Amino acid sequence: MTTPYYVGPEQVMKDRADYARKGIARGRSVIVLQIDSGILFVAENPSRALHKVSEIYDRIGFAAVGKYNEFELLRVAGVRLADLRGYAYDRRDVAGRALANAYAQTLGSVFTTEQKPYEVEIIVAEVGEVSAADQIYRLTYDGSVADEHGFAAMGGSADAISARLTEGWRPALTTKEGLSLAVKALESGERTITGEMLEVALLDRSRPSRRKFNRLSNAILDSLLAN
């Protein structure tokens, strides 16, 4: 009789974490940063059909890296949850913090109970009436939540990008300055990033509509990136 193969729970969790991290690192990076007019999303994404940055609700945006089908499931679930809460109570009761907590529970449950964890990392951001009320929550594959201040980067070489953002970010950047900083942080060596390679959106607190999410077109990107 052969001895059953046994793997300790610590090793199982480590293997799952390594698997998820490798999948996320293969994806192109996303940067989310606070600027004077709101919260700017900058994703390296040449596709015009498969979005890495999306609207969840009136003042709430979503960004993700990793496997598209997995983070798309999370995005749709977040939209449904926000719509349900807004319909049952009030639109003002839909908060980024509550959505981040719901995502954390889902990711944590999948990580601990399913055979394969989600290969995703996501950001839920909510723009406030003033800059001090802005919220940026970063969630990892295991359901961990970090309350970010100023900026956050994920996917690809996120650590190196974060280091470059730390050197250049300051409060009250303009949209042009924020986009320029994000592009410089994404570039490495002699690599050049153009507007066609980017997906950019803004949660604009000054927008008169109750829906603050605004996706920037290629023409606007080209004008902002022009020297």
Domain enclosing residue 159, as ranges: 9-225
* Paired tokens of 45: 């994404």
Which pTM value belongs to this model? 0.93
How many distinct structural domains can be found in the chain? 1
Residue 151 in contact with residue 169, Cβ under 8 Å?
Answer: yes
- Residue 1 inside a domain? The answer is no
Residue 220 included in any domain: yes
Q: Has residue 2 been placed in a domain?
A: no
Pair of tokens at residue 55: 């609207």
Alpha-carbon distances, residue 51 vs 67, 91, 96, 103 (angstroms): 12, 25, 20, 19
Supply φ then ψ for residue 38, to 5 degrees.
Answer: 160, -135
Half-sphere exposure of 191 (CA within 13 A, CB side): 10
pLDDT tens string, the chain, 227 residues long: the values are: 565 666 778 888 899 999 999 999 988 999 999 999 999 999 998 888 899 999 999 999 999 999 999 999 999 999 999 999 999 999 999 999 999 999 999 999 999 999 899 999 999 999 999 999 999 999 999 999 999 999 999 998 899 999 999 999 999 999 999 999 999 999 876 778 888 889 999 999 999 999 999 999 888 888 888 86
Domain assignment present for 107: yes
Asked if residue 150 belongs to a domain, the reply is yes
> Is 46 within a domain?
yes
CA dihedral 77, 149, 44, 193 (to 10 degrees): 170
**105 assigned to some structural domain:** yes
